[in-house]
Amino acid sequence: MTLLNKVNGDLQRERDNCTFSVTELTNLIDGDAQKTEERKQREEMVLKEGIHLEPVPAVYLSHKEKYELAVKKSCALFKMIKRLQEEENAGMENYMAVLGGSLGSAILGDGNPITLHYVMFIPTIMGQGTVEQQAYWIGRAFNLNIIGTYAQTELGHGTFIRGLETTATYDPSTKEFVLNSPTLTSYKWWPGGLAHTANYCIVMAQLYTQGKCHGIHPFIVQLRDEESHMPLRGIKVGEIGAKLGMNGTNNGFLGFENVRIPRDHMLMKNSKVLEDGTYVNAPNSKLTYGTMMFVRVMIVNDMCNYIAKAVTIATRYSAIRRQSKMKPDEPEPQIIDFLTQRHKLFIGIASVHAFKLSSEWIWNMYNNVTAELESGDLERLPELHALSCCLKAVSTADAAECVERCRLACGGHGYMLSSNLPLMYGLVTAACTYEGENTVMLLQTARYLVKSWHQARQDSGTLTPTVSYIGRVASGRRMPPWDNTIEGIIEGFHVVAAGKIGVCVNQIEKRQKAGLCYEDAWNMTSVQLASASEAHCRAIILATYFKETQIRVDSASPALKQVLLQLVDLYVVYWALARLGDLLRFTSISERDVEQLQSWYEDLLNKLRVNAVGLVDGFDIRDEILNSALGAFDGRAYERLMEEAMKSPLNAEPVNKSFHDYLKPLMQGKL
Amino acid sequence: MTLLNKVNGDLQRERDNCTFSVTELTNLIDGDAQKTEERKQREEMVLKEGIHLEPVPAVYLSHKEKYELAVKKSCALFKMIKRLQEEENAGMENYMAVLGGSLGSAILGDGNPITLHYVMFIPTIMGQGTVEQQAYWIGRAFNLNIIGTYAQTELGHGTFIRGLETTATYDPSTKEFVLNSPTLTSYKWWPGGLAHTANYCIVMAQLYTQGKCHGIHPFIVQLRDEESHMPLRGIKVGEIGAKLGMNGTNNGFLGFENVRIPRDHMLMKNSKVLEDGTYVNAPNSKLTYGTMMFVRVMIVNDMCNYIAKAVTIATRYSAIRRQSKMKPDEPEPQIIDFLTQRHKLFIGIASVHAFKLSSEWIWNMYNNVTAELESGDLERLPELHALSCCLKAVSTADAAECVERCRLACGGHGYMLSSNLPLMYGLVTAACTYEGENTVMLLQTARYLVKSWHQARQDSGTLTPTVSYIGRVASGRRMPPWDNTIEGIIEGFHVVAAGKIGVCVNQIEKRQKAGLCYEDAWNMTSVQLASASEAHCRAIILATYFKETQIRVDSASPALKQVLLQLVDLYVVYWALARLGDLLRFTSISERDVEQLQSWYEDLLNKLRVNAVGLVDGFDIRDEILNSALGAFDGRAYERLMEEAMKSPLNAEPVNKSFHDYLKPLMQGKL
């Protein structure tokens, strides 16, 4: 173990002092020891292929070269997947791991131009195609004989799907649909892989037949010739340009000029257009909610991975970085010794656990509701929809904040791309606007909450489990006195959420009485509604994190149990202090309680200090996946920063040509 | 005026409905009509040179090409400055405008590798060189015969300057200093232009003479041969690699191996080393605070420019973007009609004014204190230092939040680099960690506040003006009842700040009594101390914004006056709601007051709606400076997004070569 000898001394000391078994923590996070083993094997299997290695780091390449590298890596990756299929070694878990998650982003850090083929193209055909259509398309798609993507968003419309402008008009004379982009804003805009990668595409378009519009439907459209890859006639396709992140994703635009496709290229599992142009309605339009909810539930889990990476990097770096004098006669302290630094880091560690457990909880709920759906039971759909909306919004916003706070906690060095933190932020913040912009998401949940409030006033017994707390408050019963414990705080958050919903309902009614229509009254109250929705989500996350931890630590060793419960305490008290205004407004918390909370919080920052490195080691993120000069396991941050700097092509020559071209003439007055 | 006819109809309607004169607002912001005229002429003069134009947008270039383009542009810019000097047309204002600010960043958006030559190299020689040294160096530097930079930060030390490790050891036998980098962490790291641009450098190093260390001193060191630009013997220099932003800045590293420089290359205006090696102390070491404070004061002003740009882009875009249905029978609303959108935008507009006035106010104070310094009066230095620290921290943190909120308010399209918002965020967030990391800055101010609290307990009459409010609270006098007006809220913020400082002082004393030393007690209280410091700064910004606006609107037309006062109201009420927890803890604000504040805020979001576009038009930022597809004056956002996309080199050919190299073999099973 010569490598281990090279671990930074400060970091080694942290590990020596850790009070619990890191392996036990890792197993607990993965599920059990076998799952850990499977994950490790999967990582080893994929990484040993070396696809993630870059001769020159992608950050130094031009935009075009970045795309070309992404295609190269992506093809190597799917070739590997094909091989694993043949070796019967490609389970669903392996698929998911390389398509998304930490492992996938270790290989294609800045976006994979073929991901949507697997994540949207194939699933949409499976979900919305007839049996015949599946038979025709799935084999070819699965074997990668064709590469598809999914085009919904347009230049002018994202969130508001009904506003999409692309048209597909049925022509019974030829039994074809004719696709058109009637305006500039109707151009498809954003789909990954659309620009230069995919040759097929599912296009969401307004269906017209027999002179009538029937709304948005899915169509399979061939975009490019299979041999030459040239765009087909009437297809205007290209890339949308450079972005804050994901520049390997090859996001494209797409316009149609009288593009004709056969009738059976409309996916007809639900609605149909018959040969003569007769439109046959879908049995149930709510079924299409499924995919959207699935993606949002997946996002919550994704966010955990990003926070875990960021906080691993920042915590290890804070253990090896020494700066300033705290006391004149002592050496410079590790920056993790500053309480302000722990304040920035530890909430990140706790957030990983909080969102991981919340994500597993909503994933179970999603599976149950989906099973119920298939047997025709739609009852829990609205509740799940409301939950997935606010959890998507809160988890992405919190993750962006955590990742950025970790980056800033690394000071100037966090600004280096070799820290990997900026790239990570680019990916996380994208999730705040994609798959439903966060404010819109919160207001979707708010509609459910307001409805629940009205329902509670009628009969609080009929409330669904996640909003049942509203009944306690809406009933006007006197609240119990403030209880300065974890359970008490969580109850306080429920009281706050219910209180805020109540205030909103009153506001809306007041505004209606003052003459506004419901829509205007709603809009005027929407800042408060979004805030109420966030409060509802906070209460749910806090309660879930607390409850699920209680269950899971039951069989843990006392040492680990203690630390995991401290993390729960930290998380709950952190949020209590962060939302003090709400607690002071809606509960009977006193100034004395507040000061106790503050001391409790500071005390937890102290207690968790010794285990901080152990806690992030427990996330067990391989160096290849972290991909950070600041956060590697060995803590050789300065050495790695210099090694990474030396990879810059500018450092390959002592004098850049711009000296001769511009600088020297300028200095000699000859420019 | 054919161009004007092409303005987006929604945007034109906004302008038609504006209730005040945009020109009057612009003049007021600039100072007066003549200053506006001068600024416009300066912008015209610089932009007509076309240096800012890029054949291919820099975002598509490789890292190396970005640097080469930056050198090319930078040289063209300084050649222009030289010409203007000869034409006697290069006043200080013009210099400042192209070196920093909006105009400078329009030309060298992602960093100027020669800026530090003007901003740090020349000023340091002026400030710390003897008359002889100035005579020798300034001429050559001013004529750009040499290009210098300033190297202070090292790989291992940024904030804590005393910890720097580079050594300059005086050798009396040759009358030279010998520079060395004894460790990897002692390498200079970060200085702009250091990597491949500058051939001279001011190096901050630990001075050793006669066997004793005398701390950090400045030395002029030649890095590269003036003819060949090759690094001189013993100089290890290169670039630090790709960063989140500022990739044209050419940030470098620098190590020394027995590099010898003549004795008179030490800047000796303050401290000296005589020929025999005798060290002569500086008359006053506090004088070196000056530069640091100057830079921090400048940063506050910079931040206004960024917020103004971001909020101009997001507001115009929100006026032309239509999305969703608010009411079934009406067209899709402009997104600025959603109250949540105004909540995101209007605080940004107000923040520009708040920070602009705060920046002018502290700039005046800085000039007064500097004048006093020169006559030997150091009394107001600590107050100015405390102010510049917290204002730097709060203005950069707020600016980062405002810019990012504006970007997110543009939805997915804000993620496009052609929006210019991501690049802007990269520049603003850098300011949160450079020139003093923000948490460190807040804690510096906190030291002054705690000291003032103790002073207030002795004799509150001796408190400096910006902390005199502490006296009112520290005296333990009963606070007046809550007053739900702007003045009342501002007073409330003072009460909060003083209250928080008081709680911190109590906490520290309590912890000392419990056995902690002062340093540990301070550290354990530092999360609260940083928060107290922020509260102090908020109170100052609110009070300054309010007071300075009152003065300036005195001569404004009634229509403009009304709007500017509404903006002040909005800003104050926004922060009251954002800091409700503090107000509830430390003042007697009631739930009724809170609900009134919320309604007041929503009412202001309504009232300001009609003037939103006029208010951002009033910032008068030329399209070339905004450089945003989403925010141009004509509102043709979709057309520009497409035009920008077409500039991507990937769109220059219908089929990328990676199809033939990888995709086709993959699809045909031949990879």
CB–CB of A606 and B524 under 8 A?
Answer: yes
Considering the domain architecture, whether residues B459 and B543 belong to the same structural domain is answered as yes
| Residue-level length of chain A | 671
pLDDT of residue A291: 73
Count of CB atoms within 10 A of residue B82's CB? 17
pLDDT one-digit tens code per residue, A285-326: 555 667 778 888 889 999 999 999 999 999 999 999 999 999
B212 and B166 housed in the same domain: yes
Q: What is the CATH number of the domain that holds B185?
A: 2.40.110.10
Any domain includes B151: yes
In a domain, B438, yes or no: yes
Check the CA dihedral A202-A208-A209-A213 and report its sign: positive
CA distance B555 to B557: 7
B502 among annotated binding-site residues? no
B235/chain A closest Cα distance in angstroms: 11
Residue B49 has pLDDT above 80, yes or no: yes
Residues, chain B: 671
Question: Do A239 and A387 reside in the same domain of the chain?
Answer: no
Structure tokens at B498: 């003083």
DSSP B63-84: HHHHHHHHHHHHHHHHHHHHHH
**A104 among the known binding-site residues?**
no
A147 CB near a chain B CB, below 8 Å? yes
Residues of B in contact with A152 (CB under 8 A): none
Annotate B394-434 with three-state secondary structure: HHHHHHHHHHHHHHHHCHHHHHEHHHCHHHHHHHHHHHHHC
Range in B198-207, B463-472, B575-584 with the lowest mean pLDDT:
B463-472
Contact B372, B281 (CB under 8 A): no
Band of residue B602 on the pLDDT scale cut at 50, 70, 90: very high
Is A258 contained in some domain? yes
The active-site residue, picked from B43, B239, B404, B435, is B435
Residues ≥6 apart with Cβ < 8 Å to B387: B362, B365, B445, B466, B540
Helix axis angle, B558-578 relative to B486-513, nearest 10°?
Answer: 30
| One domain for residues B230 and B318 | no
CB B569 within 8 A of CB B349: no
User: Does residue A367 belong to the interface with chain B, where contact is any CB pair within 8 Å?
Assistant: no
Give pLDDT tens digits for B68-81. Answer: 999 999 999 988 88
Same domain, B154 and B209: yes
Q: Is residue A6 part of a domain?
A: no
- Using CB atoms and an 8 Å cut-off, which of residues 379-418 of chain B contact chain A? 404, 408, 411-412, 414-418
Residue B476 forms part of a structural domain: yes
d(CA A85, CA A475): 58
Q: What is the 3-state secondary structure (H, E, C) of A463-527?
A: CCHHHHHHHHHHCCCCCCCCCCCHHHHHHHHHHHHHHHHHHHHHHHHHHHHCCCCHHHHHHHCHH
Do residue A213 and residue A172 come from a single domain? yes
Give residue-wise pLDDT tens across range B130-171.
999 999 999 999 889 999 999 999 999 998 899 999 999 999
Least confident piece of the model among A154-163, A348-357, B232-241 = A154-163
Mean of the per-residue pLDDT values for chain B? 94
A302 and A167 in a single domain? The answer is no
Percent residues over pLDDT 90 in chain B: 84
Note the pLDDT tens digit of each residue in A386-442.
999 999 999 999 999 999 999 999 999 999 999 999 999 999 999 999 989 999 999
Range A587-614 average pLDDT: 97
Residue A659: band (very low, low, confident or very high) from pLDDT cuts 50, 70, 90: very high
Cβ burial, residue A104 (10 Å; 0-12/13-18/19+): buried
Q: Which of A45-54, A475-484, B321-330 has the lowest mean pLDDT?
A: A475-484
The rounded distance, in Å, linking the Cα atoms of A48 and A494 is 49
Instruction: Give the pLDDT confidence score for residue A100 in this predicted structure.
Output: 73
Residues B278 and B314 in one domain: no
Q: How far is CA B609 from CA A362, B19, B402, in A?
A: 39, 11, 18
CA-nearest residue of chain A to B435? A412
Task: State the residue range of the domain holding A338.
Answer: 291-616
What share of chain A in percent tops pLDDT 90? 84
- Banded model confidence at residue B89, pLDDT cuts 50, 70, 90: low
Q: Which helix (H) or strand (E) holds B255?
A: strand B252-256
* Within a domain: B499: yes
C-alpha distance from B41 to closest chain A C-alpha (Å): 25
At residue B1, the pLDDT reads: 38
Per-residue pLDDT tens over the stretch A65-107 = 999 999 999 999 988 888 887 777 656 666 777 777 788 888 8
Q: Are residues A210 and A317 in the same domain?
A: no
B527: nearest CB among A226, A343, A525: A343
Q: Are B373 and B245 part of one and the same domain?
A: no
CA distance A98 to A81: 9
- Chain A residue with the nearest C-alpha to that of B587: A591
Which residues of chain A neighbour B430 with C-beta distances below 8 Å?
415
- First-to-last CA distance in chain B? 59
Do A266 and A177 meet the contact criterion of CB atoms below 8 Å apart? yes
Q: How confident is the model at residue A2 (pLDDT cuts 50, 70, 90)?
A: very low
Task: Compare CB distances from A658 to B71, B157, B323 and report the shortest one's residue.
Answer: B71
Q: Among residues 180-239 of chain A, which lie with CB inside 8 Å of chain B?
A: 184-185, 187, 189-190, 195-197, 199, 226, 228-231, 238-239
In 3-state terms, what secondary structure has residue A629? coil
Best residue in B81, B663, B664, B668 to probe A by mutation, most A CBs within 10 Å?
A: B663
| Cβ neighbours of B364 (radius 10 Å) | 10
Cα of B473 to nearest chain A Cα, Å: 17
Residue with token string 């006195």: A481
Q: What is the CATH number of the domain that holds A443?
A: 1.20.140.10
Helix segments in A321-380, DSSP class H? 339-374
Q: What b/e readout covers B474-508, taking b as 16+ CB neighbours within 10 angstroms?
A: beeeeeeebbbebebbbbbbbbbbbbbbbbbbebb
What's the Cα-to-Cα distance from B3 to each of B12, B43, B299, B630, rounded to whole Å?
Answer: 13, 20, 36, 17
Residue after which a domain boundary falls, among A597, A616, A635:
A616
Number of domains in chain A: 3
Mean pLDDT of B303-329: 96
- Asked whether residue A2 is assigned to any structural domain, the reply reads no
- The whole-number pLDDT of residue B105 equals 83
| CA B67 – CA B108 distance, rounded (Å) | 11
- Cα separation, A666 vs B128, whole angstroms: 27
B459 domain residue, yes or no: yes
Rounded to a whole number of angstroms, the CA Rg of chain A reads 27
User: Average of pLDDT values for A212-232?
Assistant: 97
pLDDT value at residue B474: 80
Q: Do B102 and B198 reside in the same domain of the chain?
A: no
Q: Where are the alpha helices (DSSP H) in B259-380?
A: 289-320, 339-374
Q: Can B487 be counted among the known catalytic residues?
A: no
Single out the residue in B89, B112, B135 at which a domain terminates.
B112
- Using the 3D structure, point to which of A616, A632, A656 is the last residue of a domain: A616
State whether A564 and A608 are in the same domain: yes
- The per-residue pLDDT of chain A, averaged, comes to 94
The answer to whether residue A282 scores a pLDDT higher than 90 is no
Amino acid sitting at position A641: L
Which token pair is B439? 């948490």
pLDDT tens-digit series, residues A342-396: 999 999 999 999 999 999 999 999 999 988 888 888 889 999 999 999 999 999 9
